[in-house]
Chain A
Amino acid sequence: MATKRTVDVALSTSGLDAQGRPTRVPLSVQEDGNTITMAPPPPAEPDLGGEHMLINIGPQHPATHGVLRLVLELDGETVVRCIPHIGYLHCGFEKIGEYRQYNQIIPWTDREDYLNSIGNNVAFVLGAERLFGIEITERCKVLRVIAMELSRIISHLVWLGTTSIDIGAFTPFLWSFQERENVYNLLEGWVGARLTTTATRVGGMAADIPDKWLDGLNNFVRTFPNTIAEVDKMLTRNAIWVGRTVGLGVMTPEEAMNYGLSGPMLRASGVAYDVRKDFPYLDYETYDFDVPVGTSGDVYDRFLVRLEELRQSVRILEQAAKRLPDGPVNIDDPRVILPPKSKATSEMESMIHHFKLVMEGPRPPVGESYVAVESPKGEKGYYMVSDGTSKPVRWRIRPPSFVNLSAIPKMVEGHLLSDVIAINASIDIVMGEIDR
């Protein structure tokens, strides 16, 4: 019985015969002395046409901007299908809110879209104030506009920095994070915290701005356009940047609306819709600013829209700093606003109000409200339902980047694997807000 052998690579090896000449010695010799005939070797590059591959990006990957997982079906390098997975950061904010008084929910709003924390604080209390039927003071309105525009600048700067790193440009990251530091310094001077601000209260703000704070703001407003101009010069006509962004992830206006996109994503697709203009709040209709709108709906247009929004935010900040009126920040209603600490410890009525507010909390009438604001990511809505107790029956966050991200399978289809990173970056997602 001949033993069967398989030989993969070499069929013979060289040796020397008695005369010193090289000889070929066959390796595959059967026991009966006959050589084994081999099948021809397979072609060096097998044809993989029609075979699809499964690629898993994330949940822990620097280019997914958090714990997002994208499962991609690839044909070669082309994306056939994209299946996103979320929920890795789910904390049950909405459930917790049902067990908290309205003012106690404000710290949770910091932690969902943590790049826009002070903007979320303002958005939440706007919803709560409609539920309470409160109208805030003039000074408070302007301060809140300043807060929202500062947080828009922070969020767009982080987007700019991280997206440029994703696409391969490192310098804009350093510039934008340096400017972001300046905004955080301003916020720290105002509310004491940088990231988790908890700056608002139902009916007002936690604190008025300190003396000379407006000087710092004016200084920032004066110097910041230089940075925008530098980034503009660095990226807008940069051949690599343009080559990596133009024509990617295109959404037509009809598709963008149908998929529920909002914010810069929607406007880059050519839909001139901005909550500040079309469903105004905080007297935004009295500020003079423009809404940038793109025409092609690709990654490049989203970049241009966000860059222009930075300039427009500076314009709004300039006007707000000029018009900031004197007067109280909080409304004069002891059923909602805590009395000053000195009075709470010295006057009987104030102490009672303080006790009732802390132990029971303010009570809105039965009703519901949905207030949406233009957050840096898009339409951020807070839907609250009250049954007359001090805790909401339902507190719902309408997260803009959640809905924007849900369109990613549509946007990456047919693009290359490397473009998935650019498209994902252009959505400007924050997983804290998506998973909540």
Chain B
Amino acid sequence: MSDSIYHAGSALGAGAPAPATPYGIPNRGGDANPSAAALREKLPGAYVRHEVVWGETTVYVRAESVADVCRWLHDDASQRYEYLSDVTAVEYRDASRPIEVVWHLRSIAFRRFLRLKAELPKGAELVVPSVWGVWRGADWLERECYDMFGIRFDGHPDLRRLLMWEDYREGYPLRKDFPLRGRFSRSEQLKQALNANPEARYSMEELTIADAYGDVPKEMQRRLSGGEKVGE
């Protein structure tokens, strides 16, 4: 059965050096991940720039072409980024800087690590293509990012809130304009918590299984009667 095992580093060949704990990493500069140069050559329209910080390569790509870039990185035999570690976003304290959406990718076959970034300017609609079609693991990661930052992932099949409840109305908690204690006053938060009926929370999808219509909040009844199948 050993031939059915997928070995990490299998694409590197026998002469490749064994991985070792990195030391003496410079703050800026150093060897970039070869995928950055390959990406620049193959998809010049998507590539913006790349930088190496603390030994980790970050490639900035155009937001609208993220799905194509990821598809190529995943499928191409010289890249094989078959593993999506993380999807998240960064908003800086400097309000003029754009919000960055961050993808952490791993090529297990080549033992490479790559960070992709797309910049979304403030003021415009925050939307990037979903990579759910490339990696199924993006499902909850994108939903969480939407939940926390309000970034829409275009093409995600079920983009609704994940950690916060569905009719949470205070906004997006990890945005910098969201106060640490929340937008609403403590008394308002308490009132809403006491009025909520946590026993009767079913998603639109679940309501298609069984008739729990009478128990759900008014807002969801309205949307359900409008024919919605999933949340926002």
Contacts and interface: CB of A to CB of B under 8 A. Distances in A.
A284 B21 CA distance: 7
Contacts of B83: 257, 260, 273
Contacts of B148: 94
Most interface-central of B86, B139, B174 (chain A CB within 10 A): B86
A311 B91 CA distance: 43
Nearest to A403: B137
Given A133-B27, A393-B93, A54 B136 contact: no
Most interface-central of A135, A258, A280 (chain B CB within 10 A): A258
A49 interface: no
A403 B140 CA distance: 7
Given A71-B206, A130-B54, A406-B140, A87 B162 contact: yes
Range, interface on chain B: 35 or more
Contact of A83 (B5, B90, B173, B206): B206
B163 interface: yes
Contacts of B144: 402
A403 B106 CA distance: 15
Nearest to B165: A87
Interface stretch (A33-41, A185-193, A366-374, A419-427): A366-374
Interface residues of A, number: 66
A278 to B, nearest CB: 5
A135 B26 CA distance: 12
A281 B88 contact: no
Contacts of A99: 180
A367 B6 contact: no
A368 B54 contact: yes
A279 B113 contact: yes
Nearest to A141: B21
At the interface, is chain A mostly helix, strand, loop or mixed?
A: mixed
Given A86-B163, A284-B21, A406-B139, A387 B94 contact: yes
A129 to B, nearest CB: 10
Contacts of B178: 95
A383 B135 contact: no
B19 interface: yes
B82 interface: yes
A381 B4 contact: no
Contacts of A135: 23-24
B209 interface: yes
Contact of B27 (A255, A365, A410): A365
Interface in A323-376: 365, 367-370, 372
A194 interface: no
Contact of A394 (B91, B111, B163): B91
A259 B8 contact: no
Interface in B3-49: 4-9, 18-21, 23-25, 27-28
A244 interface: no
Interface in A252-276: 253, 255, 257-261, 270-274
Interface in B29-86: 53-54, 56, 58, 82-86
Interface string B178-213: 101000000000000000000001110110011010
